[in-house]
Amino acid sequence: AQSVSQHNHHVILSEAASLELGCNYSYGGTVNLFWYVQYPGQHLQLLLKYFSGDPLVKGIKGFEAEFIKSKFSFNLRKPSVQWSDTAEYFCAVNALGGSARQLTFGSGTQLTVLP
């Protein structure tokens, strides 16, 4: 079964600082990878996704992520965060093949951006 690890539970940054949130997954086969964001009191929103092709994917709101297959990683980045980026960020994996259909989520990283 696949699993997802997010190394940082809580990250605190000042506005304009650069962001990198780590995500590692364990699964030997082909995967689809996702980052979701959950703003306070709201539902999960898809930030970006990787299915195949260019390992550097761009999402909404200036976020990007890089898939490094050899490291089983899919780290989320943003060059300059804003106060409105304060939210919880979840990395998720959908393993292809077999009977697995569901998303497996990491434990989430709470990002607090100070004005």
Write down the least CB distance from residue 82 to another protein, Å: 22
Under rule CB under 8 A, residue 94 binds another protein: yes
Number of neighbouring beta carbons within 10 Å of residue 2: 18
C-alpha of 94 from chain center: 13
3-state secondary structure of 60: helix
Site for another protein in 25-84 (CB under 8 A): 32, 34, 36, 42-46, 49, 51
Give the nearer residue to another protein in terms of CB position, either 81 or 91: 91
Give the nearer residue to another protein in terms of CB position, either 6 or 81: 6
Quote the CA–CA distance of 81 and 63 in Å, as a whole number. 9
Choice from 10, 102, 112, 114 touching another protein (CB under 8 A):
102
Choice from 2, 108, 111, 113 touching another protein (CB under 8 A):
108
Quote the CA–CA distance of 104 and 34 in Å, as a whole number. 10
Residue type (1 letter), 49? K
